[in-house]
Amino acid sequence: MNDAERAGFARHPLRVSVGTVLWCGMEPATLSNLIANDNDLRLFCDGCGRCVDADISRLVKRFGAAIPLPEIGRRSRCSECGAKGGSVQVVAVRWST
């Protein structure tokens, strides 16, 4: 990782991808972190480029609030192309207030 990449990660501390946890050296972000920070969550598919907004309250009911975000990506499957696991990315977005 070079300095420019590190700076990018600092600006987007919640951006995570499957197998790579970019949480500024802290523990992986969880659903409860998302809720606490008023973040939203999107699932990206590397296979077909599909992008869907996640329903966080549904994810909490299904996985529990303590699940790390990369784990959600690992357990998700694209309904468009069927890609699973490593090809699904979880990205948290902060809406400007």
Stretch that binds Zn ion, among 9-17, 21-29, 37-45, 60-68 (CB under 5 A): 37-45
Residue type, 17: S
In angstroms, give the least distance from the CB of 16 to Zn ion.
18
Least CB distance from residue 49 to Zn ion, whole Å?
A: 7
Label residue 20 exposed, middle or buried (CB < 10 Å: 0-12, 13-18, 19+): exposed
Q: Residue 30 or 76: which CB sits closer to Zn ion?
A: 76
**Number of Cβ atoms within 10 Å of the Cβ of 5:** 10
Question: In the complex, which residues of this chain contact Zn ion (CB under 5 A)?
Answer: 45, 47-48, 50, 78, 80-81, 83
